[in-house]
Amino acid sequence: MPILKMQADIPHHMISFPPNSPSPTPAAKLPRHHHDHNKNSNRHVPKAISISSPPPTITTTTTNHETTPLDQNDDAVAAFWDYQFLFISQRKETTQPITLLPVNGAVPPDFPKGTYYLAGPGLFSDDHGSTVHPLDGHGYLKSFHVAAAGEGNKEVQFMAKYVRTEAQMEEHEPETDTWRFTHRGPFSLLKGGRRVGNTKVMKNVANTSVLKWGRRLFCLWEGGDPYQIDHRSLDTVGRFGLIDDGGGGGEKKEKESHDAGGGGVDLWDVAAGLLKPILYGVFRMPPKRLLSHYKLDTKRDRLLTLSCNAEDMLMPRNNFTFYEYDSNFKLLQKQEFEIPDRLMIHDWAFTDTHYILFGNRIKIDVLGAIQAVCGLSPMISTLSVDPPSSSTSPIYLLPRFPENDDGGRDWRVPVEAPAPMWLLHVGNAFQTVDESGNAEIRVHAATCSYQWFNFTKLFGYNWRSGKLDPSAMNFAKESEYELLPHLVEVTINLSSGSTCDVAPLNQWNKATDFPIINPAFSGDRHRYVYAAACSGSRPTLPHFPFDTVVKMDVEEGSVATWTAPRRTFIGEPIFVPKPQYSSGPGEEDDGYLLVVEYAVAIQKCYLVILDPKRIGEGDDAIAARLEVPRELNFPLGFHGFWAPDDDDDL
């Protein structure tokens, strides 16, 4: 694959002004920033910056990576600009690793050697007037490699490159380093491209999650094959057919299905037969849509993935296929389940005995579908959430090993959770036995309400204007906590007819998402949950973007937090276990947390290493903060993966 030339153009921005704010005269200019390095304290001390939008003019002074408070009127405008800078395009790539300089502390000597990979979008605007939704931005993979630096020290080497998907190579001209969007993508509508008749909808941008398994590195998206990446150079190897039928030569399990037609002609099979030539041939959708979220069963050393049929989005049933692979990608197990419900599944859970699907219900928006087919609205406007008519939500418990199932429960009948909730992300699930000897499943996850979740307003992107509106993610009041993304514990009692209970996790009442645990405990009972949350300190951005790492002790019910400096946001945290977990037992929080700080006010990114045991002790929790060069400042990332070094990395 050709490597893009490094170029010094100023990154493109998607910027509009908040409603009722005066238009800038002249057009707002991006400020230049200056910085000093105090050699004695090794701390970054930026000088005063201002964002010009007269009137008013906002000026904040930063000292030691902290900013002075703004009054509420000034903060409303600053918050708007800060939100735009969180989704700033980055066209530059690295051809060689760059050693990051610490501005606070140093990489701990006992930090494991390995690489933190972070997936996310990198480009939101082309050179012909089109912008795209963050979920349609081309995949831009970042790597932070922790390596020995001599005399017992450690250093972090940074790289960043675009994933060379088919869409990326079509839309980018490497000789001139120019871009022209030709694929609509599910969430976007092109202004500078052809609308009517443009069937390039499924834009596999490989921007959602990243995985290293079996010494192969992959970038995944929500609707197509993953792309394999060279883990050293970050060059794209090509598409990897992970779910091809017959691949791996493993055992193929019997398909389990629900016969909705009572043994006669199934009208939905007929409808599916009519849809497939259109979806597969005209819109070039893959027959099976691999989901971006996977699971690792560390006890069995297995990779678990999930796919659904492309036509399921338009039909009142879903065909889910689960795959389990060993470390050599041998297919050990494949199971198919047909569920008579129209669902949107993004994340899911597993235990030793079950696959667990939370039933996010959707419906067809007929008017939106007509407009989407005509090129007048994004394809995602074909769908909308379908709030349950009752105060419950379905949860499907699918037998992972049917040969071990006692047959006492029909998996086709969902467990009804006593709360209408839309599942966002799962931290972990495990099976245990309560004090009375009853078997139960517990799931720790981030959910929100159907009222809060909106396909066409995710991240505040307005496809009509091509701009970002932060208010779309911040409309609920704190008193309406149940509407916002928040952490819950779902308990399903398997011994009493699968009754279910849902409770806020540790009574934490701030907007929260991206729950994670120590990966060594995946599928097992765990004590600690970490997540990204919002402190609520900014009146204009009370719920998103996130600025806080929260640590929850689910045994004691306690909560501890660490918050980034003002006007700084964070992404998903990642837990890095210390090496003793490979040779013996250790405490569950014995390791480190990695999180990226997006210091939007000075347009810089930092990799922060936190001590989990010291969360709640302010900046004493910071082991190190390392600075990414400003010219490589990157937009908000999505999901990451920590891969310890193995023999293939040496």
Residues of the binding site for Fe cation? 258, 346, 425, 639
Give how far Cα 542 sits from Cα of 481, 510, 563, Å: 12, 9, 14
User: Do the beta carbons of residue 505 and residue 444 sit within 8 Å?
Assistant: yes
Edge-to-edge strand ranges of the sheet holding 349-350: 349-350, 354-358, 393-399, 415-417
Phi and psi at residue 606, to the nearest 5°:
-130, 140
Q: Where are the beta strands (DSSP E) in 207-317?
A: 209-213, 216-220, 227-229, 236-239, 288-290, 295-297, 302-309
> For residue 257, which of 363, 410, 409 has the smallest C-alpha distance?
410
Q: Which two tokens stand for residue 391?
A: 């105060």
* Gap between the Cα atoms of 360 and 355, Å rounded: 16
Q: Which two tokens stand for residue 469?
A: 């509106």
Residues in the chain: 650
User: Do the beta carbons of residue 260 and residue 340 sit within 8 Å?
Assistant: yes
Please give the distance of CA 311 from its chain centroid, rounded to a whole number: 24
49-52/57-60 β-pairing: antiparallel
* Gap between the Cα atoms of 392 and 615, Å rounded: 35
User: Do the beta carbons of residue 509 and residue 482 sit within 8 Å?
Assistant: no
Residue that is written with structure tokens 């689910």 in the block: 554
Amino acid at 333: Q
> For residue 98, which of 159, 24, 51, 139 has the smallest C-alpha distance?
159
* Gap between the Cα atoms of 129 and 331, Å rounded: 45
* Gap between the Cα atoms of 289 and 311, Å rounded: 9
Residue that is written with structure tokens 């170029």 in the block: 7
* Gap between the Cα atoms of 524 and 431, Å rounded: 7
What DSSP assignment string belongs to 316-372? S-EEEEEEEE-TT--EEEEEEEEESS-B--S--EE-SSEEEEE--BEEE-HHHHHHH
User: Do the beta carbons of residue 642 and residue 577 sit within 8 Å?
Assistant: no
User: What 3-state DSSP class applies to 19?
Assistant: coil
Q: CA triplet 370, 123, 163: central angle to 5 degrees?
A: 100
Q: Residue 507, class by beta-carbon neighbours within 10 Å (0-12 exposed, 13-18 middle, 19+ buried)? A: exposed
Q: Residue 187, class by beta-carbon neighbours within 10 Å (0-12 exposed, 13-18 middle, 19+ buried)? A: buried
* Gap between the Cα atoms of 183 and 133, Å rounded: 12
> Which residues are known binding-site members?
258, 346, 425, 639
Amino acid at 308: C
User: Do the beta carbons of residue 140 and residue 632 sit within 8 Å?
Assistant: no
Give how far Cα 182 sits from Cα of 178, 495, 571, Å: 13, 54, 29
Characterise 498 by phi-psi region: left (phi > 0), alpha (psi -120 to 50), beta (else). Answer: left
User: Do the beta carbons of residue 458 and residue 185 sit within 8 Å?
Assistant: no
